[in-house]
Structure 1
Amino acid sequence: MTQGKQHEPVDPGPQSGSGKITDQIDFDQIEALDSSGHRRLSGWLARLVAVWAIFAAGFHLVVLVFHPIDPWLFRNYHLVLLGVLGFILIPGWSKAKERVHWLDWVFVVLLLVCGWYIVHHFQALLWRAGVVPTKMDFYVALIGVLLVLELVRRASGWALPILCSVFIAYAFLGPYLPGMLQHRGYSMERFFTYIYSLDGVFSVPLAISSKYIILFIIFGAFLQVSGVGRYFVKWAFSVSGHARGGPAKVAVIASALMGTMNGTSAGNAVATGSFTIPLMRKVGYSPRFAAATEAVASTGGQIMPPVMGAGIFIMAELTGIPFQHLIIAGIIPALLYFISVYFMVDLEAIKLKLVGFPRHMLPSFRSVMRQGYLFLPVLILFVMLLMGRSVVMAGFWAIVSSLLVSWFSRSTAMGPSKVLKALETGAKNAVQLMAVCAGAGIIMGVIALTGVGMKFASVILGIADTNQFLALVFAMGISIVLGMGLPTTAAYAVAASVVAPGLIQLGITPLVAHFFIFYFACVSAITPPVALAAYAASGISGSDPMKTSVTSFRLGIAAYIVPFMFFYAPEILTHDNLLKLILHSFTALIGIIALSCAAQRFYFGRLNVPLAVVMFVTAVSLVSPNLYLGGAGLAVLAGLFFYQRYYRRRNDQAPGAPAVAG
């Protein structure tokens, strides 16, 4: 979702950690969060758009569950239904924010015409698109591609349409380029009809958007409208709100729960950060640290099973690996990531001597657990996926269960009006990711047509010279650079098309290669200089965006180490050797905690720069799969512990409770 309205903070000024906090936490405001950035329509147009959105959501559910149709036709309807919403709801420029411009209606009509043309000439287009197109095929395809680029620009900014334009230009400039980038070139007619077909715009990314992403966004809308999303945050507060720096830990837990259903890191940062960032500032965290914490936690939601921010669906399609296997593979890496972030905020709270919220301000854990049945929709989804049921049916029954579970309490019960509201919200929230997937399809179409993906693979092979570590470093750089400014789904789709073939040719398994790329596509959202999640969170906290992105990079440092574990200790993903899995997971856990201590320069007391460097090297040795290095790392940790205790005792220092004990 795009960054939208930013709500007023509960209390913009930070307070001393030892000060008294008397304000009550208003959990009701969570339901009012609006991260869509859409126009606020009124009157007949608002009602018309609501009916269109409800129809679009209902149409997708009917086709997916009860009455399947041809894939190209279904993706065409998907693009048209949500594209119309996009042109009406998302302003194209600042002066058109208040009302729908006449140019928006022109775009709507053109999109409807393009959609009708595909339906009307469907049988003929199946064999002539991209091969022997007619003049009218070319004109419709050209208009369709331009409409997609405009929709992508409105939904996600300039980065993705510029990247699409670069790839489109490459298709025509290839004959004039030197060396390996050269290709024979293509005519305008063949190129655009190829791109505006099942090989481009309507290829794998839009297939995933129409089958899976919209389904789970509708599921998330049902959770939001029924109040289950608010319950997740209340549960997180009841568990950790009283701990030192409680709101930061709540942000970590709540973002893990909410972010897995959200399609973008920035959208999750705005949605949960509007509530958690002011509370973090209230207990004493700096605005920059509060924003960075929310950005890192929201980014982690993209790697948290079972949904993993929708990118996992593209991975399943590209690799052919069953979806439930990918879910299981992602559990331990996600836990390591969030444990690292949790310790980061805990160590910051120790250094600043912060407290949490008083118990009387927080919901009682016992009363919250009485509503534990509200976790059932997510649990049902997770169990059905692990049982091997289709993703569509698992998502559908998760939606149905969220409706049924809401009836257990009068406060959450969904009547007809709330059901329609959830369908409307789901369709509107799916617009951005649909546009992003359509844009990613253009890039993947160019890659397939020109063969540039295999050329990148040969570059990786040449630079690495069969050295897999160098290949991984090179792949990391490409994934992060391609992901800067792009939503996670598009970043992974593009990076996987360019980088994955080269890694697989080096002998790296598809599971490891794609997870490696997926992680770095995700963390591009917190990597300077273009860190979308950090920028979104800084807009709420009022901190400097660039400084916030640097802090988010430091807090999320584990995410840059964990992917290399996939290669050196693949058991963490494959789970095919229980003993190695346990050993590697244990040493990785200790290493991740040590990494947090090094980044925060605190380990049973403050660390000077040389000791922080020693701690960082120790953490890397523990994260590595080499058991000898792991043993040496444990020995160094023990030595640092005794040194810190002796040093603190000698200098009569007492900076608070022990860090690791926290």
Structure 2
Amino acid sequence: MSQVTVNDSEDILKKYDKESNFRTNLHKWAWIVTILAISLTLFQLYTALKGPYVTLIQGAVHLAGGLSIIFILYPFKSSMVKKKGVPWYDGVLALLSLTVNFYIVFEYERLISNQVKILGYSTLDIIVATLGVVLVLEATRRAVGLPIVIIAIVALLYGLLGYVFPIQAFQHSGFTFDRLMTSMFFNTEAIFGTPLRISSTFIFLFLFFGVMLTKTGIGKFFNDLAFSATGRMTGGTAKAAVAASGLQGMVTGSSVANTVSSGSFTIPMMKRAGFKPEFAAATEASASTGGQIMPPVMGAAAFIMASNTGTAYKEIIIIALIPAILYFLGVFLGAHFEAKKQGIHGLPKDQLPPFKGIAKRLDLLAPLFVIIGLLYLGYTANTAALWGIATAFIVSLFRKDTRMSPKAILDVLEQGARVALPVIAACATAGIIAGIVTMTGLGGKITGGIIELSGGSFFLTLFFTMIACLLLGMGLPTTANYVVTAALAAPALMSFDVPLIAAHFFVFYFGIVADITPPVCLAAYAGAGIAKANPMKAGVVAFKLSIAAFIIPYVFVSNPVLLLQGDWTWGSLLPVLITAILGMVAISASLMNFFVAKMNMIERIILFASGIAMAYPNNLLISISGFVVLIILGLIQHMRNNKNTSSPSSALS
């Protein structure tokens, strides 16, 4: 069986992940990228240590560094990525990016003064603001992709020409071009709003922390730990892939990148064990997408969610834990039932990493424990991240293969900025969308539209909100995905007195699973590229494996105790948790077509219905009824198995 080479992985990543499609042959421009990237990382570390500047200045320096590097690294067209050097016009765009952002730094006092409030912005101000908006959109198109840029352009047109909008309920008087551009670029409600403010403080540090962990070899450690713990189980290769992606997802931030980096190793192993290519691709895609909902990083959205909801970051990562574990349990169960159906066993002990070797590397977990420990001692996320970075550096010194030379340290500083580029661009563009929503009151209008469409039905409101999030989430990176869905869709749920945090988690989950929901399921497509599988079939299987992500949000919105909200107790949590787990067992078995044995269509439908009944919150009688059906069906299948095993024809076969 052919192996997946490094070049294959890079080609697949560039095809399905816009963020990875950057120039590698920069020629003389390489040193400029290095200087800009290291300068940006040092600025972020300095302000984390000494305290950030005011929002506009901190954001402007952050955006200046990010946009200028993007224009040098990312070509105008993807087909130009292999060309040597950098065209002159990209150098000009990089210089313009520095100029318009540092204009804010140098003109800050005047831009916030009463003079501007009385006399208005100057012609130069308007030109700079317009250039700033255009540069943000173009940089985002190059580094992130077209979907979010299209949404932002439509939002800007709506802000400009709201009075001609075809649906009267959504019309508004419109804003002048001058006001729209200056509002987008010179205040803290749009480009320099919450997403970029969080990016320029917390997110950058945690992304840099992830780079440091990669340098210490923690990714390989997670793989070894997962295979050692689950490799000998039924379908061990698939279960290990799920566990490894769950662990790596704690510190990474892209569904597609996770799929390719982990899948290059796990997908060939699953295929060798006997899993079909589509299933191998889907398992890795589902698990890697789940990395975006796994605390503490959650695709960098955790920090913005903390700001949007007024909930402490350390509380967000606890609230997120139970739903995330349930999601991975759902994928794990799907892998288990498929392995049972296919008769795929675990790996022999001699093919698994020895536990003794893993135990010797437990110190690699120290940076994670330092961050989590400091957060719960009351330190800020900035301080915790800084100490986590320092601990990762110290840990790297203990081994020859991870010890960093001065050149390697400079490389890590550069990579810290590079990995943040798509997030910087996405946050800036998401800020444009959020700014238009605030200026025009669009969020309230969409809320009214969803409620009117649902006829006031709570369930239909949930359903239409889910569809809206899946559509908005297609092709958007995690952070921008959450910002957009939180601004446009979450308010509809809060009108039914859904707790704020539950509404935000609901839209966050459905925005994320767009990556594995056909027809636009980029993570599944990337996995299929590695597995040499049919992409759409892989997407359908990924949807089945990730069914928990489509059920759990309905459960925690209807019963927020699953998010540890309200006056929850262990007595109120455990019944909801147990019935949710049993419901996922039944639903996964139904979708994989195996419980105690293979099933006919009627049995699958009955089992699926019993799973929904058990997962249904707030009604113990319905849950018990579903459990009884599960037990009865299991006994029927068990007796049928025994009968088939003991029959003469079975004995002869």
CA–CA distance in structure 1, aligned partners of residues 217 and 277 of structure 2? 28
Structure 2 residue aligned with 1:179 = 168
Which of 600, 618, 632 lines up with 2:625 in the alignment? 632
Q: Indicate if the aligned counterparts of 2:18 and 2:142 stay in contact, CA closer than 8 A.
A: no
Structure 2 residue aligned with 1:41 = 25
Residue by residue over 1:218-268, the C-alpha shift from the partner in whole angstroms, topping out at 9 and shown as x without a partner, is: 001001112122211122122222333322222211111112322221121
CA–CA distance in structure 1, aligned partners of residues 497 and 119 of structure 2? 35
Letter aligned with residue 491 of structure 2: P
Task: Using the TM superposition, give the Cα deviation of residue 509 of structure 1 relative to its aligned residue in structure 2, in angstroms.
Answer: 1.0
CA–CA distance in structure 1, aligned partners of residues 369 and 389 of structure 2? 12
Runs (5+) with no aligned partner, structure 1:
10-32, 655-662
CA–CA distance in structure 1, aligned partners of residues 139 and 533 of structure 2? 30
**TM-score, normalised with respect to structure 2:** 0.92
Task: Using the TM superposition, give the Cα deviation of residue 35 of structure 1 relative to its aligned residue in structure 2, in angstroms.
Answer: 8.0
Other structure's SS at 2:98 match: helix
**Equivalences for residues 307-318 of structure 1 within 5 A:** 307-318=297-308
CA–CA distance in structure 1, aligned partners of residues 299 and 374 of structure 2? 18
Q: Indicate if the aligned counterparts of 1:238 and 1:363 stay in contact, CA closer than 8 A.
A: yes
Which of 377, 385, 394 lines up with 1:404 in the alignment? 394
Q: Indicate if the aligned counterparts of 1:482 and 1:491 stay in contact, CA closer than 8 A.
A: yes
Structure 2 residue aligned with 1:601 = 593
Which of 547, 550, 561 lines up with 1:571 in the alignment? 561
Letter aligned with residue 69 of structure 2: L
Structure 1 residue aligned with 2:93 = 107
Which of 147, 156, 161 lines up with 2:144 in the alignment? 156
**Fraction of identical pairs, as percent:** 38
CA–CA distance in structure 2, aligned partners of residues 92 and 42 of structure 1? 14
Structure 1 residue aligned with 2:473 = 483
Structure 2 residue aligned with 1:69 = 53
Other structure's SS at 1:561 match: helix
Task: Using the TM superposition, give the Cα deviation of residue 322 of structure 1 relative to its aligned residue in structure 2, in angstroms.
Answer: 1.2
Q: Indicate if the aligned counterparts of 1:132 and 1:190 stay in contact, CA closer than 8 A.
A: no
Q: Indicate if the aligned counterparts of 1:225 and 1:418 stay in contact, CA closer than 8 A.
A: no
Structure 1 residue aligned with 2:642 = 649
Task: Using the TM superposition, give the Cα deviation of residue 48 of structure 1 relative to its aligned residue in structure 2, in angstroms.
Answer: 3.1
Other structure's SS at 1:55 match: helix
Task: Using the TM superposition, give the Cα deviation of residue 429 of structure 1 relative to its aligned residue in structure 2, in angstroms.
Answer: 0.7
Higher alpha-carbon deviation: 466-475 or 220-229: 466-475
Other structure's SS at 1:516 match: helix
CA–CA distance in structure 2, aligned partners of residues 448 and 49 of structure 1? 36
**Equivalences for residues 124-523 of structure 1 within 5 A:** 124-127=110-113, 128=116, 132-177=120-165, 178-197=167-186, 198-523=188-513
Task: Using the TM superposition, give the Cα deviation of residue 362 of structure 1 relative to its aligned residue in structure 2, in angstroms.
Answer: 2.1
Q: Indicate if the aligned counterparts of 1:6 and 1:270 stay in contact, CA closer than 8 A.
A: no
Q: Indicate if the aligned counterparts of 1:167 and 1:443 stay in contact, CA closer than 8 A.
A: yes
Higher alpha-carbon deviation: 573-582 or 92-101: 92-101
Task: Using the TM superposition, give the Cα deviation of residue 132 of structure 1 relative to its aligned residue in structure 2, in angstroms.
Answer: 2.3
CA–CA distance in structure 1, aligned partners of residues 34 and 231 of structure 2? 38
Higher alpha-carbon deviation: 242-251 or 199-208: 242-251
Residue by residue over 1:410-464, the C-alpha shift from the partner in whole angstroms, topping out at 9 and shown as x without a partner, is: 3333343333222211110110111111111111111111111111122233234
1:119 aligns with 2:105: yes
CA–CA distance in structure 1, aligned partners of residues 637 and 295 of structure 2? 38
CA–CA distance in structure 1, aligned partners of residues 194 and 543 of structure 2? 31
**TM-score, normalised with respect to structure 1:** 0.91
Task: Using the TM superposition, give the Cα deviation of residue 47 of structure 1 relative to its aligned residue in structure 2, in angstroms.
Answer: 3.0
Other structure's SS at 1:632 match: helix
Letter aligned with residue 404 of structure 1: I
Letter aligned with residue 628 of structure 1: L
Task: Using the TM superposition, give the Cα deviation of residue 34 of structure 1 relative to its aligned residue in structure 2, in angstroms.
Answer: 13
Give the number of equivalent residue pairs.
Answer: 627
CA–CA distance in structure 2, aligned partners of residues 428 and 64 of structure 1? 18
**Equivalences for residues 508-547 of structure 1 within 5 A:** 508-547=498-537
Task: Using the TM superposition, give the Cα deviation of residue 72 of structure 1 relative to its aligned residue in structure 2, in angstroms.
Answer: 0.7
Other structure's SS at 2:20 match: coil
CA–CA distance in structure 2, aligned partners of residues 7 and 555 of structure 1? 29
Residue by residue over 1:465-495, the C-alpha shift from the partner in whole angstroms, topping out at 9 and shown as x without a partner, is: 4432222112111111111111121111111
Summarize the Cα distance change of 1:34–1:105 in structure 2 as closer, same or farther, 3 Å threshold: closer
CA–CA distance in structure 2, aligned partners of residues 6 and 469 of structure 1? 47
Letter aligned with residue 191 of structure 1: L
CA–CA distance in structure 2, aligned partners of residues 244 and 412 of structure 1? 34
Q: Indicate if the aligned counterparts of 1:6 and 1:540 stay in contact, CA closer than 8 A.
A: no
CA–CA distance in structure 1, aligned partners of residues 18 and 408 of structure 2? 17
Other structure's SS at 2:402 match: coil
Q: Indicate if the aligned counterparts of 2:18 and 2:145 stay in contact, CA closer than 8 A.
A: no
Task: Using the TM superposition, give the Cα deviation of residue 100 of structure 1 relative to its aligned residue in structure 2, in angstroms.
Answer: 1.3
Q: Indicate if the aligned counterparts of 1:130 and 1:194 stay in contact, CA closer than 8 A.
A: no
Other structure's SS at 1:183 match: coil
Letter aligned with residue 156 of structure 1: V
Other structure's SS at 1:652 match: helix
Which of 78, 90, 103 lines up with 1:94 in the alignment? 78
Higher alpha-carbon deviation: 85-94 or 405-414: 405-414
CA–CA distance in structure 1, aligned partners of residues 570 and 7 of structure 2? 48
Summarize the Cα distance change of 1:635–1:147 in structure 2 as closer, same or farther, 3 Å threshold: same
Summarize the Cα distance change of 1:464–1:566 in structure 2 as closer, same or farther, 3 Å threshold: same
CA–CA distance in structure 2, aligned partners of residues 382 and 419 of structure 1? 25
Task: Using the TM superposition, give the Cα deviation of residue 51 of structure 1 relative to its aligned residue in structure 2, in angstroms.
Answer: 2.8
CA–CA distance in structure 1, aligned partners of residues 190 and 493 of structure 2? 24
Structure 1 residue aligned with 2:650 = none
CA–CA distance in structure 1, aligned partners of residues 8 and 268 of structure 2? 9
Q: Indicate if the aligned counterparts of 1:472 and 1:503 stay in contact, CA closer than 8 A.
A: yes
Task: Using the TM superposition, give the Cα deviation of residue 546 of structure 1 relative to its aligned residue in structure 2, in angstroms.
Answer: 2.1
Task: Using the TM superposition, give the Cα deviation of residue 496 of structure 1 relative to its aligned residue in structure 2, in angstroms.
Answer: 0.6
CA–CA distance in structure 2, aligned partners of residues 284 and 47 of structure 1? 47
Which of 606, 609, 624 lines up with 1:614 in the alignment? 606
Q: Indicate if the aligned counterparts of 2:364 and 2:395 stay in contact, CA closer than 8 A.
A: yes
Letter aligned with residue 582 of structure 2: I
CA–CA distance in structure 2, aligned partners of residues 130 and 195 of structure 1? 19
Task: Using the TM superposition, give the Cα deviation of residue 190 of structure 1 relative to its aligned residue in structure 2, in angstroms.
Answer: 0.5
Task: Using the TM superposition, give the Cα deviation of residue 547 of structure 1 relative to its aligned residue in structure 2, in angstroms.
Answer: 2.2
Residue by residue over 1:328-379, the C-alpha shift from the partner in whole angstroms, topping out at 9 and shown as x without a partner, is: 1111111111111011112111222223333222210122112111111112
Other structure's SS at 2:291 match: helix
CA–CA distance in structure 2, aligned partners of residues 421 and 89 of structure 1? 16
Q: Indicate if the aligned counterparts of 2:29 and 2:86 stay in contact, CA closer than 8 A.
A: no
CA–CA distance in structure 2, aligned partners of residues 588 and 130 of structure 1? 59
Task: Using the TM superposition, give the Cα deviation of residue 96 of structure 1 relative to its aligned residue in structure 2, in angstroms.
Answer: 2.3
Task: Using the TM superposition, give the Cα deviation of residue 67 of structure 1 relative to its aligned residue in structure 2, in angstroms.
Answer: 4.2
Say what the alpha-carbon RMSD is for the aligned residues. Answer: 2.1
Other structure's SS at 1:651 match: helix
Structure 1 residue aligned with 2:12 = none
Residue by residue over 1:369-424, the C-alpha shift from the partner in whole angstroms, topping out at 9 and shown as x without a partner, is: 12111111112222222333211111111111111122233333334333322221
CA–CA distance in structure 1, aligned partners of residues 55 and 117 of structure 2? 16
